[in-house]
Structure 1
Amino acid sequence: MYEEEAPPRRLAGVARCVWRSASTGPKRIVPDGCLDLVAGDGGVFIAGPDTAAWSSLTRPGAVLRGVRFKPGHAPAVLGVAADELRDRRVSLGELWGRAGEVLSERLLAGELSPAEAVESRLASMEAATADAAVAKLIERLDAGAARVAEAQALMRPGSGGARVADAAALLARGEADPAGIAAKLGAPARATSPDVAATRIEEPSAVSERRLRRRFVQAVGYGPATYLRVARFQRAVALAPRVAGLAALAAAAGYSDQAHLSRDCRALTGLTPRGHFRPPSTVDVAERDRLRSA
C-alpha cells in the first residue's frame, strides 16, 4: 500500500507531497530527483537523492510516513547541501544533533507527523527560499527539454516563443503529455516537445553555466544531466498507464528512441522496461540487481 496527499498549505512551497507506505516485503525505490523525510519502523531519516534503485526493507506490518521535498528545496530546510546526502540514508540525529534526536523520538511516539516536524523546522528558521536560477532550470528540464544545453540556453534573455512554465504547469496537472504539449501551446509538435528551441524566457539571467551547475548540484544532489535523465524517466512512469507500447512510451516521454528508454530504465531501476512497467515492479533481491538496502 502506498498513498500520497498534497502537502499542508504551510509546506506547499517546499514539499511535493506527504505519503504513507506499508509493505509486506522489500520495495524497489527508483530515483525521482527528490529528498524525503521518512519516519517509521523504529527510525527517522533523510533519504537523499538517488542515482540508482535501492530496496526499502521493513518489518512486516511496519508503516512508513514521509514528506517528499520539491527538487532543489530540501537544502534550505535541512541546512545541508543535497549532494552531501546523495545515495545515502542519514538519521535525523546525525543531521541535526540533539534537536534531531528529540524530534525523532516525538515522531516515533506519534506526537508529530513528518509534515508537522518540517513545519516546526520552518517556524524556527528564516524563510526557506530555493535558489531562483536553479528553480528555473529545474522547471525547464521538467517541462521536457531534450538536452541540458537547450534548457540552459533558455536562461539567457532574448529567446522567443511559448513559455516553458506553461508547459510545466500542464504536465503537473496531468492535462497533457510531453508529446502533446507543443500543440496545446500553439507551437509545432515534435517528439521532444515542448519546443524548447522556441521557448521565451522573460527574465534575464546573468548566472554563468559553471556557477549554475555548482549551485544545481548543491541544491538537487547531482548535476543537470543526471536530473534530466531522472526527470525524463519519471515522465515515462507517469505516462505508462496511458500509453500502449514501449516505442510510443519512449516517444511520448521525450526519449530519442526505445533503446534510449531501455538504457535509462536499466541504469535507474536495474530492470528492463518490460520488467519494470509490466507488471509494476517489486524488489528482486537477486545479487544481479545490486540494490542498496536502506
Structure 2
Amino acid sequence: MYSERPSRFPGAVVWRREIGPGDSRPVLPDGCMDLLWIDGALSVAGPDTRGHVADAPVREACVGVRMPPGTAPALLGVPAHALRDQRPALADVWSGHRAGPFVRRLRAAADPAAELEAVALDLAAASPAPDPLLRAVADRLAAGCPVAATADAVGLGARQLHRRALDGFGYGPKTLARVLRLQRALGLVRADATFAGAAVRAGYADQAHLARDMRALTGLTLTGYAASLP
C-alpha cells in the first residue's frame, strides 16, 4: 500500500509504502531525489535512470520525502550525479558524526514520516537555496519544452546547461526530459487515458515509441504497469 501527501518543504511530497510479500514493483525514474527511512536506517535515493527494486525484504513501512528535481544537492552538499542510481546511507554521504543526530531523532520519533519531513526542513534552513535556474529548467522540460528552447530561455549554452544539469539533476537535460516525458504519459494512464492517447498527449510519436521508452527506463511493459495500478 502506498500513500502520499504534500510536504511543507516546497514542491516536495511525504510518502509511505508498505511492502508485503511478493511486492516487487520497482520505483520508477522521476527526476527526483528522496530522503528515506527504512528499517531504522536513514539513506538517500539518488536520481534514477532505471526502475529500482529493493535489494532485500523490508520489515517495516518505508517512509520518504521526495524532493523535486534540482533541490536535494543543495541540502546534501553533493552533486546529484555522484548519487545517480544509488541508495547510500546518509552517513556514507556525510561523516557518520554529522548524520548521527538525525538518525537518533528518527529512531525516537512516534511518527517517522513527520520527523523525516522535519529533518528535510531543518536541512533546507541550514543550506544554500537551490539554484532557481534549475527549477526553471525542470519546469520547462516537465511541460514538454525542447531542450534547445529551454537552454535559450534560461540563457545558457548547451554545454553550460549540461554541466549544471549533471550537478543538479544527476544527468543531462535530454535524459531528464525523457524521464519527465514518461512520467507525463504514466500520469495520463493513471487518469484512465488509453496508451495511444497518453503517448500522443505526452509528446511521443506513437504508442510504440512510449512502449520502448517504458521498457528502457523501467524494465516494465505498459500492460504490466497498468496491471499493477490499484
Partner of 2:202: 253
**Are 1:115 and 2:117 matched, yes or no?**
yes
- What is the total number of aligned residue pairs between the two structures? 223
Residues in 2 aligned to 1:277 and 1:259: alpha-carbon distance in whole angstroms: 16
How far off is 1:246 after superposition? 1.5
Residues in 2 aligned to 1:272 and 1:46: alpha-carbon distance in whole angstroms: 27
Residues in 2 aligned to 1:102 and 1:132: alpha-carbon distance in whole angstroms: 30
How far off is 1:109 after superposition? 3.0
Aligned 8 A contact 1:33 1:50 in 2: yes
Partner of 1:180: none
State TM-score, norm by structure 1. Answer: 0.71
Give the RMSD, CA atoms, in angstroms: 1.9
Q: Give the gaps of 5 or more residues in structure 1.
A: 156-204, 282-294
Residues in 2 aligned to 1:96 and 1:104: alpha-carbon distance in whole angstroms: 13
Partner of 2:94: 96
Work out the percentage of aligned pairs sharing the same amino acid. 38
Residues in 2 aligned to 1:35 and 1:53: alpha-carbon distance in whole angstroms: 14
How far off is 1:71 after superposition? 0.4
Residues in 2 aligned to 1:92 and 1:215: alpha-carbon distance in whole angstroms: 23
Residue 214 of structure 2 aligns with an amino acid whose one-letter code is C
Q: Give the gaps of 5 or more residues in structure 2.
A: none
Kindly report which structure 2 residues correspond to 1:131-280, keeping only aligned pairs within 5 A, or say none.
131-145=131-145, 147-155=146-154, 205=155, 207-280=156-229
Residue 20 of structure 1 aligns with an amino acid whose one-letter code is R
Question: Which string of whole-angstrom CA distances, capped at 9 and with x for unpartnered residues, describes residues 125-180 of structure 1?
Answer: 24x322232222211101122x322332333xxxxxxxxxxxxxxxxxxxxxxxxx
How far off is 1:23 after superposition? 1.3
Residue 229 of structure 1 aligns with an amino acid whose one-letter code is R
Question: Which string of whole-angstrom CA distances, capped at 9 and with x for unpartnered residues, describes residues 180-239 of structure 1?
Answer: xxxxxxxxxxxxxxxxxxxxxxxxx3x322112101110011110110111011111111
> Which range moved further: 15-24 or 259-268?
15-24
Q: Flag as ranges the 4+ runs of structure 1 deviating above 4 A.
A: none
Residues in 2 aligned to 1:122 and 1:138: alpha-carbon distance in whole angstroms: 19
Question: Which string of whole-angstrom CA distances, capped at 9 and with x for unpartnered residues, describes residues 3-29 of structure 1?
Answer: 111112xx22xx421111111033311
User: What SS is found at the alignment partner of 2:88?
Assistant: strand
Partner of 1:6: 6
Residues in 2 aligned to 1:138 and 1:40: alpha-carbon distance in whole angstroms: 28
Aligned 8 A contact 2:36 2:65 in 1: yes
Residue of 11, 16, 28 corresponding to 2:12: 16
Partner of 1:183: none
Which has a greater percent of helix?
A: 2
Residues in 2 aligned to 1:254 and 1:151: alpha-carbon distance in whole angstroms: 16
Residue 4 of structure 1 aligns with an amino acid whose one-letter code is E
